[in-house]
Amino acid sequence: MDIKERVLGHGLRWWARHGGIAQFHRPAGAAGHVAGWVMGRRSSNVARNRWAARLLDVQAPEHVLELGCGPGVAVAALAGRATRGMVVGVDHSAVMIRQAGRRNRAAVKAGRVRLIHTPVESLALDGEPFDAALAVNTLGMWPEPAARLRELARLLRPGGRIALVSQPRCAGATAATSVTAADELTALLTGAGFDGLRTETLDLDPPVVCVIGYVSGRAARATS
């Protein structure tokens, strides 16, 4: 771990202990700008988001949805792949939507990225179903995540895929905490009707887990 990453990590842990954690749940105001700045530049966060976008294996014409997109790091990585498609990023923080807009200015202008300021629990989208969806370190902040995942299954085409990423941020988190997080995500996805589930791991400290699943016939039938 390089010195810049170490200093940022110490700073973040201090900030979290002193009430800053809320700024990662719903960044607002000047402190929210700082939280977005950190998420957009901290090498572990950037690596985690780019890794997740690679795992989702997005193809050029595909339509992709990212929930809780924060400052738009994964949106940029996804838009770099969906070059003839569309990436929709959603976040309930106006500060994050603005930062994501700046980070993806050219793609937004070209109509390949759309950013929506809304809570996931109020998300209303029409139009063609998405090929893939991504959520990085955000699902644990949503109200009733099981219900949200059932709604997401309805926004994806049959066979469409989802990637849920978690790097536990609680004090003292270890590799075992990451395994527990993966088990919880797997159970939630199974309950929402996704199948073909697999877990990938990125070797950070603690490890990042990504659970990938597909909209099953069962989930697709529930939508019709």
Ligand X SMILES: C[S@@+](CC[C@H](N)C(=O)[O-])C[C@H]1O[C@@H](n2cnc3c(N)ncnc32)[C@H](O)[C@@H]1O
Single out the residue of 64, 96, 208, 211 in contact with ligand X (rule: CB under 6 A). Answer: 96
Which of the stretches 107-115, 137-145, 182-190, 214-222 binds ligand X when contact is defined by CB under 6 A? 137-145
Query: What does the per-residue mask of binding to ligand X show for 65-84, with x meaning CB under 6 A?
Result: ---xxx--x-----------
CB atoms within 10 A of CB 97: 21
Single out the residue of 45, 99, 104, 178 in contact with ligand X (rule: CB under 6 A). Answer: 45
Q: Does 51 bind ligand X (CB under 6 A)?
A: no
Which of the stretches 9-17, 134-142, 188-196, 207-215 binds ligand X when contact is defined by CB under 6 A? 134-142
| Phi and psi based region of residue 69 (left: phi greater than 0; alpha: psi -120 to 50; beta: remaining) | alpha
Q: Which long-range contacts (C-beta less than 8 Å, at least 24 apart) are formed by 5-14? A: 5/42, 5/43, 5/44, 8/38, 8/42, 12/38, 12/42, 13/171
Q: Does 119 bind ligand X (CB under 6 A)?
A: yes
Q: Does 89 bind ligand X (CB under 6 A)?
A: no
Q: Does 25 bind ligand X (CB under 6 A)?
A: yes
219 contacts 193 by C-beta, under 8 angstroms? yes
Identify which of 43, 36, 150, 38 has the alpha carbon closest to the alpha carbon of residue 89: 36
Sheet containing strand 130-136, edge to edge, reads 113-117, 86-91, 63-67, 130-136, 156-166, 208-215, 194-202
23 vs 186, beta carbon nearer ligand X: 23
> Which residue sits closest to ligand X, CB atoms considered?
70
- Applying CB under 6 A, the residues found at the interface with ligand X are 24-27, 39, 45, 49, 68-70, 73, 90-93, 96, 119-121, 136-138, 141-142
